[in-house]
């Protein structure tokens, strides 16, 4: 069941998208390096602490890496 708070959040998101489209502003995409075992929220917090200019990104893409620091490479 959809609650009033969900509808309100969706409405706010739609309004925000409409405002950005009117400004003709492209979406801001940020890549966040993340260990496979690391909590996604912790990875975002760590990234935004190091790069405060990335706060407010429209899209966050997680780049997973293993212990050796390689991203998606198989052995």
The answer to pTM > 0.85 is: no
Contact 57, 30 (CB under 8 A): yes
From CA 50, how far away is CA 10, in angstroms rounded? 30
Give the domain CATH number at 75.
Answer: 3.30.429
- 46 occurs within a structural domain: yes
Domains identified in the chain, total number: 1
Domain membership of residue 72 (yes or no) is yes
Domain that holds residue 70: 28-75
Question: What's the burial of 60, exposed, middle or buried (CB within 10 Å: 0-12/13-18/19+)?
Answer: middle
> Is 73 domain-assigned?
yes
pLDDT of residue 75: 38
Let me know if residue 43 belongs to a domain: yes
Between CA 53 and CA 25 the distance in angstroms is 16
Task: Give the pLDDT of the chain (75 residues) as one tens digit per residue.
Answer: 678 888 888 999 898 888 877 766 677 899 999 998 899 999 999 999 999 999 988 889 999 887 665 554 443
């Amino acid at each position: 069941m959809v609650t009033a708070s969900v509808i309100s959040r969706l409405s706010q998101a739609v309004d925000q998208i409409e405002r950005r489209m009117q400004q003709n502003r492209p979406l801001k995409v940020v890549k966040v390096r993340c260990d496979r075992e690391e909590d996604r929220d912790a990875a975002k917090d760590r990234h935004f602490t190091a790069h405060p200019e990335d706060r407010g990104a429209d899209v966050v893409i997680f780049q997973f890496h293993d212990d050796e620091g390689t991203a998606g490479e198989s052995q």
